[in-house]
Structures are given as structure tokens and as C-alpha cells.
Structure 1
């Protein structure tokens, strides 16, 4: 009999012959010790975050909003954000999930929280100190909801592709991912710590434009990044000044925040991009690809010169109005294809005689039953050419000799911006084409310029074109035969995503079951991955650096977990469940530890306080030998029952924190293999 195993986190596949025992999450007794002893105080503080610190006897400084109600067993506020205190230490060393669920399960990580850098719809970003390497980093902590978690796993996949293949040396100006791990049901991604962003620079400059030297420099670096994304078939979907951040080590900018990114062969959402930088195909409801990032780049090029956004719309309707007011109406063929065109335009006539006019604001208000803000005019000039030709233009110290060519510089800048603001994505320049433009290269501009044929050409959108393998072929390639799955918890989904990535595949995150749909992997990445591994095996070519974010891992990872898991029949009633756990520290350790945990939770958790402690007891299952396998169950002395709200259950859940993953005993019917589940202590319930 063959058993197909995975090593948890970043896995390498192997087949073990003759195995008859299906082991999932072999327990690490050191992690058990940590959960039952060292993390008792952290657990208490998460449930009662306003109490005095037992270390300093001072009230901890909470770095995020504390709401009246909590979620995730008291670890999160109402918005599913992890409650963080100044000085908290996050990482695989202190997480409930343990080092298995991190970028490198062979080591442990510790990051001490210093302050909060920002927050958004996805979660929070904190500045922290890496205690193992004595460096400052940025940690992005996503909300503990399934949709954000799965999107975060895609972000990890995309950053790994960029850091290890398409931008390995960092010349494409993409942010470096240093680590990632699970922490109390939250996905945490660790990045290099960068400086201020372009928006903050414009703000500090009192929203006046930058000089031409800086505009050329920043636009060149942005287009170099977009060229790397074009080659990787990645769409960033949120290019804006806030996501262009200074790197003091290179004195340049890097592109951050790939949390909305997707692949151009499988775009995820119809509503993407920040409004002021949103491409017309997004507003009108057309299929899209990398070209939407080039539209954003054109908007940024103008903003760097003007000091304020080129199209500062106050709503979707107002945004489209400002675009058409400056650039004219989109071509008829573009309007004909848009699924949302008639939301903003009236169609007059039929067939080839049809034409479109934009609706008046009052029409849009009546149809959508909303009230629009009055349109605000920020510029005295209507067209882009008038605007660039008449605004004050700063050349910069290195261009004093070019003052006589100021008109040529203005015309070159206009042509450069217009090439990125074409309505038709097939006519909009690619990053490679824009990098050849005389405005960036310094060549003479004669009034007419065409991109060289050697540059990358625009590609038509390929919306929802999945890779060339089926979901069954994907499962077989990455995990072997006969895979059956129950509802996955966060840790299990993390395992599968990171394992698939090491096999050159990207899990389809659009549904909770990673094997329901074919993978999202672009063919270009699959081929690049295979070529690199061929060179590795042959010993030729450069090797991928083995580091925390690497796609290649140590082939001798000693930690393994079994993916195959049979469906567990579910009973309508709630019956006591016997949980077993391998113990090597002695007979009394596990029982005494759980008693301590139970007492601590009873004193902290308001829901459990409603159930008197004396009504429950911890009982050892005598069927198992003391030095072999032990089990505990939580009993109601009067009803001989377990309350789901306050006790141990066998259903993994995204809203409850596992103390430690443990295997369920072999069933009485003799069916193989073992069933496994985490041990949960429940707090306040929430429904997702």
C-alpha cells in the first residue's frame, strides 16, 4: 500500500512504501509544552487585553481598535482584526499553529511589534523587529476570514514567483517577502521595511509637481516593475502613489501591496483599482489584463508633474465624466463591448448608425437612486495638451542646459502620457514599449514616435482561461492519487497551497475547496518553473537561493503530514469525543496542563463563566495505557454530555483557535486510518 505524504508548510513530495498508518500532523511535544505553559499569559491577555501586564504591571498599549464584541475566541475585534499590543511577539515561536505552518518549519521566528503602520480592508500592517536577525521588518496581518486568507495565499504565491524567478535579483523593483506564518488563524506576511511613499512625498511638497529628473526616474522604475509583471502575466490591480515606496538602500522606489493581484489568464474581480487610477475597461465592464496597470501608470506620470491626480473623480460616474471630459468619448467598439456601458451612456440609434452620449448626472441619480456630489474642477484647462503646455514645469539640476528645449520636453511628456492613456487596451503601450520612449531615454523628440517592434506587444484579454490541466490532474501531480478531503481549516488550506506552489502550481482560491477547480497557474510560470528545475537537476545555470520565501526547500525536511483524510460521518447529536495525544513527557503532564488551561479560560472567558467550573471535570480515558496514548474528555457531571459552545468539538473551524492538533483514536469499527482533529477551547461564537 502506498501513502502519499506531504511535509507541512513548504513541502516536498515523497512516497513511502508499505505504510499502513495514516499520520496527519505528527504532534510536536515541544509545541504542546509551549501551548500549555508559556502561552498561558498571552492567551489571557488576548482575551482580556485591557488588564495589567503581568511583566510590567502596566496597562498594555493596544495598537488597534477594541470593539465591544470580539471574534475568533477573543483574539480579534468585531472586524476580524487581530488585537495587537505594543511589544507583542508574533511568529512561529509563539503561534498556536506552530512552526509547521510557516515559510520554514525547520526554524522558529520571533517578531516584536513596535507600532502600527496602517490598516485597510484586508487587515493591518505593523512595524516590528526581527529578534533573530536584529532587523526591522513590516508584518501584514490579514483578517481571520476565509476570503481574505485565500487572497493572502495568492499574494504569497505571486510574491514567491517574483522574488524567486521573475525578479530574483531585485532589478524589477518589487518588494521582498522575507517570511510568512499562521498566527491564531491569521495569515501573516513579513516584508522588508521600506520608507515613505510617493503620495507622502507629494503631500510634503504641498501637492506641487516634482521636477522632470525625478519624474523620469520614478516612471522608469515603475515601468521596469510593470515589465516584470507583464512577463510573469501578473496584474497588480492597485498601482497608485501610495503603493510606490522608497527604498533607502537603492535610493529608488519599489512596488508593494500585491494583495489585489491576479493573473491575466484568470482575473478574479470586476471591481479593482483605486478610483482615481481605474482604467475605463474596469468602469465599463470589459475583460481586462495587464493593460489596466499601464493606465494607472499614465495617471501617475501626470500626477507627478501636476501634484494632484489627473482624474480626481468623486464617484464612478464622476470618474468616467472627468476621463471623457479630457480625453473625449471612448471608441464605439469599446462601448459596445462593455457590460456596464448603458449604466453611464445613452445609446441613440441602431446598428451602424448607433452612437452614445454620456448621461446627465440627474439621469444617473434617478436611475440609481443616489445623490452625486457636484463635479469639482481642479484645472483651468480642459485637455491634457493644454494642461501640460501651460503649467509651470520644473526641470531639475541636471537639465539646466535643456531650458531652450522646454517645449520639446513638454510635447514629449504629453506624447508619453497619451500612449499609456489609450482607451483601447490593444493600442495602449506595454511597459517595454513605454521604456523606449524619448521622454525617458533622453533622445530627441520630433513630434512623432512609434515603439520599436522588438518591444513586447499588447496582448488581448484572456479572461477565465485556466491552465492546461484539470483539477484531477492537478491533485494527482501535486499530491498523488485518491485524495479525499473534508472541510478544510486554515492550517490545512495553507499546507495545500504552499505544497502546490513547490510543484509549480497555484491553487485556485475562488472557492474553499482547492481541488474543485483547475489551478490558476499561468503557462509561462509552469514552463519557467520546469526549466529552472531541469537546470538544477543537471547542475547547469544559476540556482535559486534557498531562503524563507524560496520556491525550493530542503529536500530532507523531517516533518511530514498526510493529506489524505477520509470523510467522517457526522452525527445529529452531540456526543462526548475521546481525543488522544502522544505524550513523552510523562503521565501527569497532559492532564495537569489541560486542567491549568481550563481554569485559566474559565477565569477569563465571559461565556465560560456562565457555566460553573464545578459542573465540569477532566477525565482520563482508562482504555489507553498511561505511557502509550492518553485522552481527555470534558464531561457535564449531571447530563454526561458535552456542550458544543463551551467544550471540545471535532469540527475544525476558522473562528476557533486550536490549542494543539491531536489525532482522534481509531474508531470502534476498526476502520482505518486514524481520524484527526484539533483540540479547541471555545470562546465567543461568530458566524462567517
Structure 2
């Protein structure tokens, strides 16, 4: 219900308007009776409307211009403005043409309203749509001055505003089939127009606003306490990624905590989520008790155009734990536990002819991230000798998640997969990929567990390949020949009698910073020191996972039988 405040203003009788000067040939304006109405719109803001009082319909046709009339029949000012100031275009033209030659009668009880200030633009105007206005700052009612001029909108502006409103109102009625052009020119037509506008505005104000559930990027707007799927009550936001958001929720039926992945309301992400659901359903059917440490699907549903995937609630991802632990390495016993579980999960996928393609610490979740804190001395090469604090996990159980990019081996393979730091060389060279790309990613992850930082910290393909040569040795000639056919920009030919392609790095476009980063990349033997049997076997496992040729790389099933897993590693104090 809108609140209406009406201010009534009527013309007063004042002396005749002075004759027009040579500098400003503006015709004197007749008296104008108008009022301002303040109405609140649907958003609760105040809008001002200028309304001209209704006058009787003019009798007779508009007189022709006086220069076409016989002598003595030129119209007077009063005959032109018989409708109380609301004129047609012909009447306005006639008034302008005769104003300078015919002075206004001395007995006219009209007031000359001065024109509006051109430098100050009036903020109140009407939209083309009935019942709506352009947002403006509300102004208080302004009384008519004693000399007949309005301190608010001028008479000329008021006529212009009401003429615009009348035009739009008649146009609306024509489209609605209520009347046609040329009808309703008198006060009765104006009343019908006003009634139509008021009725339409009231209807719009009474209609409730459509609720908004998404932001401009298609993400669901998270509101704690919101019930999704009529079963899961949102507790808090856990994280946000490219595909959507993950929230902690309470199952109102079982009273258990769950995680709900709410996919963005964008077609390509909805389609990708359906692929993930298909994979998760397959994993649940083949492993109902979850012996292979993959995330378990509880259910899924479509809610407000968002695909929602409900799973068990887990702890932090390994990357977040590393970050909160100042990127300090994991204990060697924990690395062995992580490696065994990760290889078991991926081997299970490969047995189902499924390739994960996006293995990384962010997609490995801790079941429980509770920890204890120990003091460790600073490393020998550290500038600071202060004792550091290190978090030691109480539970090393993990789950593999995010199957949105998983691909069955017999189905379509995109050209580029995997996150940059964990991408296999055959993907960079455009040579195709299969199960071995997952093994390479696991090798990168295990080294990161050992050092606390990513093995290949780069965002450029050529620099990435140069770092691989620093870590794994030179690219094999056979692979370089194949790579030069698909990515010739990465290679140059040797200048000897038997030219062979070699990596074209640094070349001419490598920056000074890039060369510094590549020079600082160490070989695996320098990263993992072989000072005991644990490190020796761990290094051997990683080297066999990080081999250039995919066909020579250790499979994940073979990696589970590596002697490294026969060792019993004592816990760290």
C-alpha cells in the first residue's frame, strides 16, 4: 500500500505580465493550476508526480495561424487558450506567432510563470511505463510564490510532464484495447487514464518481489539456516571453487552432519556435475563399504536450478593443512600412509577404466584434521634460529574427492587436463594421455608431501618442460621427435651432422626470472637425500613414477607392491 501526500497549488490573480523584450522573445504563459503527488514505489522510495488540473474540453477547432486569416479575424490570446493551459502543438505555435503583436488583456486574471532555470535540471519525470518512475531523490513540497511562479516545477515544465504522461497513458490504452487515438480528449478521458494508472500502480505495488537465490556468476547464495532439498539445513560455508560451493549441513532426518556440494547454475557446470554423479554412483555400486578410500555419495538432487551432491562430511584438504602448518613437510610415516591410500584409490579407479585426471593435494581430504603441536629446531641453513612449531596429525585417514573431470578410457579425451603443477609431460606436448598421467601426478604429490612445496612451480609450458629436465633428466630423443611434430615451438634442431630436436630453452623469449627459477630447480637426488633406507626406497618409488615416457612409467597397481611399503617407519616425536 503506497502512501500518498498531495500538495494542491492554484494560480493567483496578479498584474499582467510585462511585454516581451527584444532579447528574449518568450510568450507570456497563461495561468496554470497543478499539484504535486508523492507516492512510494515498490522499493519503498518516494517519487514526485506533477499533475495538471483537468479542464473542460475546448470547443471548436484549433484556429489557423493568424497570417492566413482574413484581416480582423486574427485570434486573441484568450481564444487560443480556452482549455485552461493544456494546448495542442498547433495551439502552441499559434500562441507563439501572435504573442508579440497582441498584448495580453489588462483584465486577464492569469499569472505569468517564468521559465525554468536552464542550468538546473528537474529531477522529477515519468517513465514510458505506466506506474513507474525513474529513481530520484525525493523533494519536499514547495508552495507557489506570491507572484504566481512556482519555486518547484515551472508551468511550462508541468505541461510538458503531463503531456508526456497523457501520451504514454493513451498509448497504453490503445494497446490494451480500451480506446483509440482521438478519443477521451476531455476530462472524462483524463479520468479514465488516471484510474488506469492508479489501478496498475496499485497492482504492481501489491505484487511480492521475486526472491533472488543466485549471484551474478551463478553461485548459490549461502544463508545459514536455509533448508535445501527439504532435508538439509545449511550450517556454514566450507569452500568455493570453479564448479560451485561446498557447505556443511545437518540432515534433519538423521541429525548427522553432511557436506553438500552446490553446483553453479550454469549449463556447462551442471553437465559436468552429472558426469561426476555418474562416476560416484559407479564407485558406490562397486565398493559399497568404501574400502578404496573414495568419497561416498549419499544422494543428489536438483534444487532451485542447482545440482546438489550430498556426501559424508570430512576435514581439511591436505593443501590447506600444509598451508596452516607453514608449508612444513609431513612426517615420513604419514607420507607412507598417504601414499598407500592414494595409490589404492587410484588403482581402484583404473580397474574400472576410469582416469581421475585432476589429482592434487586439494582433492585429498583428511577424515579428521585434529593435530598435536611439537617444537622443532630451525634447519641448519635457516637465518632464524628460533624454535618452530609443527603440527602433527592424529589421524592420517584420507579420502579422494572431485571426480568432475574423471574420464573413462574409452570415452572422449580433452586435449588438456590436470592442474598445471601436476600435469604430465605427454599432456603438455599434446601426445595424448591415459592412465599413466595419474601416476605422474601422484609422483609430484609425494614429493610435495616430503618438501612441503610444489615440485614444479610454474605457469608456462616451455618453462615447465625445462624444470622437468632439471628434475628428471633430459627428455628422451624419441619423445622429443614426437613432441616436435605437435609442439614445434618448444624445440630446435641440433647443428650436428644428424640433427635431432632438443628443448628450445631458454631461447630468446625466456625472462631473467624464468631462467633463475629453472636454475633453482633441483634434481630428485638432491631433493630426497639417500641417508637411510626409507629415503632410498622412497626416492626409487618417486623416480619410477616421474618418468618421461608414459609407457615406461610405473603403474599405480605396480607401485603398491614397491619395497617402500614393506618398511615400518617409526613415528616422529
- Can you list the C-alpha shifts for 1:591-644, whole angstroms capped at 9, x where unaligned? xxxxxxxxxxxxxxxxxxxxxxxxxxxxxxxxxxxxxxxxxxxxxxxxxxxxxx
Over aligned residue pairs, what C-alpha RMSD do you find?
2.9
Q: Tell me the distance in 2 between the aligned counterparts of 1:442 and 1:285.
A: 38
1:126 alignment counterpart: 247
Paired residue secondary structure (2:213): coil
Corresponding residue for 2:567? 442
**TM-score (normalizing by structure 2):** 0.55
What displacement does 1:251 show? 4.8
Please give the alpha-carbon distance, in whole angstroms, between the structure 1 residues aligned to 2:451 and 2:476.
Answer: 27
3-state SS of 1:385 partner:
helix
The answer to whether structure 1 residue 194 and structure 2 residue 321 are counterparts is no
Q: 1:116 to 1:372 in 2, by over 3 A?
A: farther
The alpha-carbon distance between structure 1 residues 280 and 329, as it changes in their structure 2 partners (threshold 3 A), is: same
Q: CA separation in 2, counterparts of 1:243 and 1:111?
A: 24
**In 2, Cα distance between the equivalents of 1:375 and 1:192?**
45
Distance 1:414 1:172 in 2: 25
**Counterpart check, 1:384 vs 2:524:** yes
Partner of 1:227: 347
Shift of 1:248: 3.5
Residue 254 of structure 1 aligns to a residue whose secondary structure is strand
Q: Number of paired residues?
A: 336
Distance 1:373 1:130 in 2: 52
Structure 2: distance between partners of 1:442 and 1:267: 40
Per the TM alignment, residue 305 of structure 1 is displaced from its structure 2 partner at its CA by 1.0
Higher RCO (C-alpha under 8 Å, 6+ residues apart): 1
1:307 aligns with 2:447: no
**Shift of residue 268 of structure 1?**
3.4
5 Å-filtered alignment, 1:153-302, equals 153-165=274-286, 167-248=287-368, 251-302=396-447
Q: 1:376 to 1:133 in 2, by over 3 A?
A: farther
Alignment partner for residue 425 of structure 1, among 530, 544, 550? 550
Partner of 2:498: 353
* Structure 1 residues 349 and 304: alpha-carbon distance in aligned structure 2, compared to 1, 3 A threshold: same
Distance across 2 between alignment mates of 1:411 and 1:228: 27
Distance 1:302 1:284 in 2: 23
Deviation at 1:73, TM superposition (A): 8.9
Q: Corresponding residue for 1:341?
A: 487
Query: CA 1:123/1:326 → structure 2, altered by over 3 Å: closer, same or farther?
Result: same
Alignment-derived partner of residue 411 in structure 1? 536
Q: Which runs of 5+ in 1 are unaligned?
A: 1-46, 49-71, 94-109, 366-370, 391-405, 445-688
Residues 470 and 518, structure 2, Cα contact 8 Å, conserved in 1: no
Deviations 1:493-531 (A, max 9, x none): xxxxxxxxxxxxxxxxxxxxxxxxxxxxxxxxxxxxxxx
1:55-204 aligned at under 5 Å gives the runs: 74-91=212-229, 93=230, 110-165=231-286, 167-204=287-324
Deviation at residue 375 of structure 1 after TM alignment: 4.9
- Distance in 1, Cα, partners of 2:436 & 2:526: 26
Q: State the shift of 1:81 in Å.
A: 1.4
Q: 1:281 to 1:88 in 2, by over 3 A?
A: same
Whether the 8 Å contact between 2:335 and 2:450 is mirrored in structure 1 is: yes
Task: Tell me which structure has the larger Cα radius of gyration.
Answer: 2
Is 2:496 aligned against 1:319?
no
Structure 1 residues 323 and 266: CA distance shift in structure 2, 3 A: same
Question: What is aligned with 1:538?
Answer: none
Q: SS where residue 239 of structure 2 aligns?
A: strand
* 8 Å contact from structure 1 (residues 111, 128) kept in 2: yes
Q: Is contact 1:209–1:304 with CA below 8 Å preserved after alignment?
A: yes
Indicate how the Cα distance of structure 1 residues 239 and 77 shifts in structure 2: closer, same or farther if over 3 A, else same: same
**CA offset digits 1:267-292 (Å, max 9, x no partner):** 43222111111111111111111211
Instruction: From the superposition, tell whether residues 123 and 305 of structure 1 become closer, same or farther in structure 2 (CA, over 3 Å).
Output: same
8 Å contact 1:332–1:355 — kept in the other structure? yes
Q: How does 1:633-672 map to 2 (within 5 A)?
A: none
Alpha-carbon spacing, 1:236–1:372, altered in 2? closer, same or farther (3 Å): farther
Q: 1:118 to 1:266 in 2, by over 3 A?
A: same
SS of alignment partner, residue 345 of structure 2: helix
SS class of match (1:118): strand
- Tell me how far 1:364 sits from its aligned partner: 4.7
Instruction: Answer yes or no: is the 8 Å Cα contact 2:243–2:264 preserved in 1.
Output: yes
Q: Secondary structure at the match of 1:374?
A: helix
Secondary structure of the residue that 1:151 maps to in structure 2?
Answer: helix
In structure 2, how many angstroms separate the alpha carbons of the residues matched to 1:375 and 1:111? 52
Q: Which moved more, 1:314-323 or 1:114-123?
A: 314-323
**Conserved 8 A contact 2:244-2:263:** yes
Counterpart mapping for 1:515-664 below 5 A: none
Would you say the 8 A contact 1:335–1:341 is kept in 2?
A: no
Q: What's the CA shift string for 1:210-233, capped at 9, x where partnerless? A: 222111111000000011011011
Alpha-carbon deviation of 1:382?
Answer: 2.7
Take 1:137 and 1:376, find their aligned partners in 2: how far apart are those partners?
46
Deviation track 1:9-62 (CA, whole Å, cap 9, x = no partner) reads xxxxxxxxxxxxxxxxxxxxxxxxxxxxxxxxxxxxxx99xxxxxxxxxxxxxx
Which whole-Å deviations, capped at 9, do the CAs of 1:572-591 have from their partners, x for residues lacking one?
xxxxxxxxxxxxxxxxxxxx
What secondary structure does 1:213 align onto?
A: helix
CA–CA distance in 2 between the matches of 1:152 and 1:144? Answer: 11
